[in-house]
Structure 1
Amino acid sequence: MCPIITHEDEIELASTEKDLVNHIKKLAKAQSNLIGAQNKYAEALRKANLEREMLNRTFRDVLKQMQTLMREKRSNIKEEEVNLFQDIIYKNDEYIEANNKYIDAIKNLTVKKDYFIKKKEELANSLDEVAGKRGALIKKALNVEKAKNKLIEGEKLKILDSELNDYQREFDRARDVLLKKIHQFIEVRDEIDELWIHLKNSISKSS
């Protein structure tokens, strides 16, 4: 047997929606702080990568000098040294390229996540609007019901019904906006999921 749905249930729903709004906004704030941390991390990686590029440039200068001196028998340069330096330079080039891809992936993700937070806030604001309109609509419906029970004049009842219809239309408009915001939220969320996969795939060996 299905439970009887009452006005109190709808009022409770409006109250719970308000709670949901608060939690959405708290999560958005926490994620905003996380984006800031991720951007700082990406910037630190970028600076480290620039230092690695400078290091590799100097490695190449040293290698070039070693290769020149190695032509002389008394240069004290061993072929093993040259080969080891070449290997270090080659690996550094790989690390630089890998880090650049990783940094780009982080940046792309944080930009989209920042946009996602805006969509999340828009959703929260729309939900807040719906909750408010829902509560107002239910209270108005209860007032109209009480008026009908008191058998008030027909003209006054028409006015109340007209006002109730206005409340209903306002609620319907707010709900339509909310549905639109939810669809936008889901669309951006799915795009972020793809960017997370791209970030994961961009991770490579790097020391």
Structure 2
Amino acid sequence: MKNSERAASTRANLVLAAARHFDQHGYDGTTLNSVCAEVNVTLGALTFHFRCKAALASAVVQEGVEELRRVSTECSAAGALPELSLLVRQVVTALQRNVLTRAAVRLIQEEHVVSDWLGVFREEVLRLLERASAAGGLFAGVRPDTAVRLVMYVVEGAMAEARRPADGEGPTGPDFAEVWRAVLNGLAADAR
């Protein structure tokens, strides 16, 4: 293996290991030594790629947000609520299955890394809910700004569930579809 290939592999392994630690322990609970131990590299090797913990966290967020943006742009369906449903399900699936996305969102929420992704996602959810409301698709009395909060709570809850150890308790991935149907039944005008 060439030096450049080895360096790229080491960097990727460091980012992935850091994502696992940030996802489980947050920024403050993660040490560079624990990341190094998982990848079996020295602290010097880590600092060759990332000058500090903040730079490593930024790399995790960059990769995680890139994946979230990719799945968000793939959402296209006929009608605002079907498009919202597709968007939320794809984002939640990414958060459930991809440690980089979960770690990225956690680091953003903890305000250790600045990213506009959460704001952009929230604005897209609001845009779709406003479209649904204007078309008469939301239940009377459901305001789009209130519905946005509900959607964000559901997404954050799904992310927290994904972070829990797999002990057989709590909702699993397939259960989210049922939760999401319940949310839509509370929002959609034609669901009553």
> Does TM, scored on the shorter chain, surpass 0.5?
no
Looking at both structures, which has the greater relative contact order when contacts are Cα pairs under 8 Å and sequence separation is at least 6? Answer: 1
TM-score by length of structure 1 reads 0.27
Quick check: which has more Rg, 1 or 2?
Answer: 1
TM-score by length of structure 2 reads 0.28
